[in-house]
Amino acid sequence: MAKYILKRIAGIFIVLFVVMTAAFFMMRLMPGGILDGVEENLSADMRDLIYAKYNMDKPIWEQYLLFLKGIVTEWDWGVSLKLYVNVSVWDILAERIPITLYLGFLSLLISVPIGIAFGTLAALKKNGIVDHAVSFLVVLFISIPSFVMATGLQYFVAYKWGWFPLIYDDSLPRITTTFLPVLALSFSPIATITRYLRAELSESLNSDYMLLARTKGLTRVQATMRHALRNSLVPVVNVIVPAFISIMGGSLVVESIFGIPGLGGITVRSINVADYSVTLASLIYYTLISLAAILLVDISYGLIDPRIRMGGSKDA
Amino acid sequence: MGETMIQVKDLRVNFRAWAGTVQAVRGVNFELKKGETLAIVGESGSGKSVTTKAILGILPSNARITSGEILYNGKDLTKLKEKEFYDIRGKHISLVFQDPLSALNPIQKVGKQICEALKKNEHMSNGEAKKRAIALMEDVGIPEPETKFSQYPFQFSGGMRQRIVIAIALACNPEILICDEPTTALDVTIQSRILDKIKELKAEHDLSVIFITHDLGVVAGIADRVCVMYAGKIVEYGTVDDIFYEPAHPYTWALLSSMPDLDTKEKLFSIPGAPPNMMYPPKGDAFAPRNRYAMEIDFEQEPPFFKVSDTHYAATWLLHPKAPKVELPEVLKHRIQRMKEEREGA
C-alpha cells in the first residue's frame, strides 16, 4: 500500500510538471502582454526596463528555467505583474486559498451525505412517487449551472427575503456569509451522487448476496445497510472526484457573484488582464488539488473494496 | 418418515411484467416429510425457483401469490408479514443458492458473513460466533478454516464458495434446507463432492431437504421423492424409483430420454419445440404441443392426476382407462433396463 501511494505521488509530480510547462508556454506564446493598453504611453526605454525587470527580455525557455529555479530554490512564484503590482504571487494565493478550500470542502461535505441519503431513498422506493420526485429534482439540478443557481439564490433569498447577506461580509460569521454560495455549489454534486447511487443501489438490492443476506434472517434495513449500500458505494466514490472538480470550477464564477475574496475571483481577473504569474500559479494550484482529490479517492477505493486493496498480492 | 414439514396447497404465483401477467406457478401441490429429500425437477422457467422463493417470502416485488397456502408449523407462510419471516429465515428454513460466485457479498470477509447469521438468530457474542463459524467451515470441508475465516470470497474457488454458502445456510441449525440448483454453476467433479457433502450434512443435522434441479442425474443420487414440473405445474410425482423405472408422463419420458449416459450410442433425444409463453398458458395439457403422444383431448382439457401406485401419480390423459395403450419409447426402455442392471451390479 505504501509503495502504491509513493508511486502515485511521484505520478502526481510528473503530471504537475507537464501541466505547468504546457501552461507556461501556451500563455506566453499568446499575443498580447502585460503592457497592453498602456504601451503607447511608454517610451521604448521604459518598456525595455520593465521587460528586463521581469526577465521578459530573455528567450522564453530561459524564462521558464528561471521560473522553475525560483520555485525550487526559494519557493519564489514570482510577483503579480498587473493586479497587485510587485506583490508576491505566493502571498496573494496564501491569503485566498483558505476561503476557496473552505467553500469547496464544505460543499462536498454537504453533498456526499445528502446525495447518499436521497440516492438510497430513491432506490428503495424505486418507481414510486418518491423516486419520481427525486429523479425529477436530480435532472433539474444537474441541468442548472451553479452560477444560475447562485444568481437566483442571491436575488430571492438574499435580496427579496433578506435572510442572508447579499455579498460576502468579513464581519459576519463565515458560515452565514458563505451559506448561499456553498448552497449554490452543492446542488449539482448532490444530484450527481444521488443519480449514481440510485442506479448502483437498485442493482445491488436485486443481487444474490442481498437475497442471501435476507435468507439469513436479516431485516430489510440490516441487509441493505450492511450489504447493498457498501457495495454500491464503490462506484459512487468515483464520481466524487468529478463532483469536487466541478465544485472548484463553479467556485470560479460563484465567488465573483458573491464577491468572495477567494482564488476563483482572482483567477478570472488575472486571465482578463494577462497577469501571467498569477494565472499560472492558480492553474497549478487547481491542478494540484484535483490530483490530490483523485489520489484520495483511489486510496479510499482500496479501503472500501478489498479486491482492489489486495489485487496485486496473490496470498490467497 | 412421518410428520409433514411443509405442505404446499394449490400455490399460484403471478408476475406483473411490462407486457402482461406471467403465470409462473399455476396450482402446485406437494408436501415435504420430515427427513426426506424431495427433488423438484423441470426445465428453466418451469416455476421451480419461484415456488421455493414463495416458501421463504423472498419473491421479487412484482410477484404476487394469487392463491394457495404454504403450511409450515401450523402457519400459512403466504400470509406472513415480512417481519414475521425474520424469525423463520435462516433459523428454521434456509436456502442454498444456485450461483455461489454471486451469492456472497464480495467485499465482506467470509467469516463475518457466517457470523452475521449466528449473531442475528442465536444472539451469540463475537467470540462464540467465530468459534461456531470455524467449526461450521470445518464441517463443510474447508481446509484451514482459521485462516480462511478472515479471507474474502474472491480468494475462494467456486466449490469452496458454495461450501461457505452451505455453512451459512446450516449455521443456525434449520430444520428445512432448500437447495436451488446448488451444483449448476460448478464443474462436474466439484458437483459430486458438494452433493456428497449435502447428503452427509443432511444425515448429521437431521434435515428435510427440497432439492431443485434440472439435472436428472443429480436427482437419482440424492432424492427420496421427485416432483416433475412443467409450465408452472407438477405433472408427475412419486418415489425416485417410480420416476426413473416406471415413468408415466410423456414429459418425464422426454426428460429421461434426453439425459445422456455412458452407453448412449444413438443420437441423444431432445424435446422438440420450446416451453409455452406463460403469459398465455395454453388450454389443456401445456405439454401437448411438444408431445408426440398427444391426443385430441390434451388440447381441450387439462388432465387430472391419475394414480399409478400408492406413491406415484401423473397428470396425463394416457392413464385414462379409455386411452389407447402407449408403449414406452424404445430408447427409454433400453435406458431403464441399463439403469436397473447397473443398480443390481452395484
User: From its phi and psi, is residue B316 left (phi > 0), alpha (psi between -120 and 50) or beta?
Assistant: beta
Smallest CA–CA distance from A205 into chain B, residue? B60
pLDDT tens digits, one per residue of B73-92 = 888 999 988 888 988 998 89
Which residue, among B95, B105, B149, would best test binding to A if mutated, counting the most A CBs under 10 Å from its CB? B105
Average pLDDT across chain B, whole number: 88
Q: pTM, whole model, 2 decimals?
A: 0.79
Domain for residue A281, yes or no?
Answer: yes
Size of interface A-B (CB pairs under 8 A): 84
The lowest-confidence range among A118-122, B136-140, B211-215, B255-259 is B255-259
pLDDT value at residue A37: 67
How far is it, in rounded angstroms, from Cα B148 to Cα B319? 55
> Looking at beta carbons, which residues of chain A come within 8 Å of B151?
316
> Looking at beta carbons, which residues of chain A come within 8 Å of B83?
219
With CB atoms and an 8 Å threshold, state whether A306 touches B154: yes
Domain for residue A237, yes or no?
Answer: yes
Number of domains forming the structure of chain A: 1
Shortest CB distance from A307 goes to which of B60, B154, B171?
Answer: B154
Domain range for A189: 89-309
pLDDT value at residue A315: 42
- How many helices (H) and strands (E) chain B has is answered by 12, 12
> Looking at beta carbons, which residues of chain A come within 8 Å of B88?
217
Domain for residue A257, yes or no?
Answer: yes
ipTM over cut 0.90:
no
Smallest CA–CA distance from B61 into chain A, residue? A206
With CB atoms and an 8 Å threshold, state whether A230 touches B107: yes
With CB atoms and an 8 Å threshold, state whether B116 touches A226: yes
Neighbours of B39 (CB within 10 A): 26
Domain for residue A182, yes or no?
Answer: yes
How far is it, in rounded angstroms, from Cα A41 to Cα A87? 23
User: From its phi and psi, is residue B40 left (phi > 0), alpha (psi between -120 and 50) or beta?
Assistant: beta
Vertex A64 angle, CA A59 and A70, to 5°: 125
**Residues in chain B whose Cβ is within 8 Å of chain A:** 56, 58, 60, 82-83, 86-91, 94-95, 97, 99, 102-108, 116-117, 120-121, 151-152, 154-156, 165, 168-169, 171-172
pLDDT value at residue A316: 38
Domain for residue A48, yes or no?
Answer: no
Strand partners for B26: B12
Domain for residue A215, yes or no?
Answer: yes
8 Å CB contact between B8 and B30: yes
CA distance A200 to chain B (A): 15
The CATH number covering residue A264 comes to 1.10.3720.10
pLDDT tens digits, one per residue of A43-75 = 888 888 878 877 778 888 888 898 888 888 888
pLDDT tens digits, one per residue of A76-102 = 888 887 788 788 888 888 888 888 888
Domain for residue A103, yes or no?
Answer: yes
